[in-house]
């Protein structure tokens, strides 16, 4: 059984039943603390930048652009990019286009299950401002209100070339130590959670999916 913490500084997990409360952790997420020696942190960032493992979760129409990325023509493997089947093994989440409310719930769940350090690329125009679905009843317009985004690639649809350029840009950002999306999520956790619960009405999962 998971150790439940004291009432101060824990999550309510109000969406769970009493029985489920015992099964899920109610601890808050913790921010990533860099190594005290800068050279070590830089080395770690270099290593992270060159082994970007992408979560194979096609969240929208942009997911179709991820397939040619792995083929011989674009060959994302030369950047250390590989597809991974589970959130636990991956470090990059590519939001492939529009996110409907039903998908957003799964995105949050997968994103929180990813182990840090983790990075989010928002692909296409839809996560930025809604794109052609700006007046849809089921598509979120500003994706960064729900999940912190490290890099935007705009276009409808962006071609794999742009995706390769975006991956190189993400590597530069990681090497420079400027990809702090996961820490922003932890620091503004209550704000993100309030935004998420505003659109997801049937919240039946833990507040943080460890």
Partner 1 sequence: MNELLERLQRHFDVNNINVLKPGMTTLKIGKDSAEILIRELRDREGYTHLNFITCIDYIEDGIFTLVYMLHNYDSKHTLGVHVDIDREHEEMTSIHTLWAQAWTYQRELREMYGINFPGSPRLDEDFCLEGWDQIPPMRREFDTRVFSEERFGHREGRHSEVPRVHMKMELYPKRGGDEE
Nearer to partner 1, 67 or 198 (CB): 198
Q: Residue 205 and residue 144: Cα distance in Å, rounded? A: 21
The only residue of 81, 95, 122, 140 in contact with partner 1, by rule CB under 8 A: 140
Q: Which stretch binds partner 1 (CB under 8 A): 5-13, 36-44, 131-139, 157-165?
A: 131-139
Residues 65-124, interacting with partner 1 (CB under 8 A): 100-102, 105
Neighbours of 134 (CB within 10 A): 11
Q: Which is nearer to partner 1, 105 or 118 (CB)?
A: 105
Tell me the DSSP string of 53-83.
EEE----SGGGGGHHHHTSTTT-GGGGT-EE
Q: How far is the CB of 34 from partner 1 (least distance, A)?
A: 31
Examine residue 197 and tell whether it contacts partner 1 (CB under 8 A). Answer: no
Q: Are 95 and 119 in contact (CB under 8 A)?
A: no
Q: What count of Cα atoms within 13 Å lies in the side-chain half-sphere of residue 105?
A: 13
Instruction: CB nearer to partner 1: give 22 or 188.
Output: 188
Place of tokens 């849809």: 136
Query: Binding residues for partner 1, per CB under 8 A?
Result: 100-102, 105, 128-130, 134-142, 145, 198-203
């Amino acid at each position: 059984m998971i150790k439940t913490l004291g009432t101060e500084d824990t999550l309510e997990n109000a969406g769970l039943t009493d029985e489920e409360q015992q099964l899920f952790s109610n601890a808050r997420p913790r921010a990533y603390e860099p190594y005290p020696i800068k050279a070590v942190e830089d080395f770690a960032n270099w290593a992270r930048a060159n082994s970007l493992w992408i979560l194979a979760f096609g969240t929208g129409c942009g997911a179709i652009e991820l397939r040619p990325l792995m083929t011989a023509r674009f060959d994302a493997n030369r950047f250390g990019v590989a597809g991974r089947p589970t959130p636990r093994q991956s470090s990059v989440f590519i939001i492939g286009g529009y996110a409907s409310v039903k998908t957003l719930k799964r995105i949050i769940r997968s994103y929180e299950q990813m182990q840090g350090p983790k990075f989010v690329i928002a692909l296409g125009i839809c996560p930025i401002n809604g794109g052609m679905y700006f007046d849809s009843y089921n598509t979120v317009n500003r994706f960064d209100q729900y999940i912190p985004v490290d890099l935007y690639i705009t276009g409808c649809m962006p071609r794999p070339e742009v995706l390769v350029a975006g991956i190189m840009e993400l590597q530069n950002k990681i090497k420079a130590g400027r990809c702090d999306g996961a820490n922003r999520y932890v620091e503004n956790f209550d704000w993100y959670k309030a935004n998420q619960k505003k659109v997801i009405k049937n919240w039946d999962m833990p507040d943080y999916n460890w």
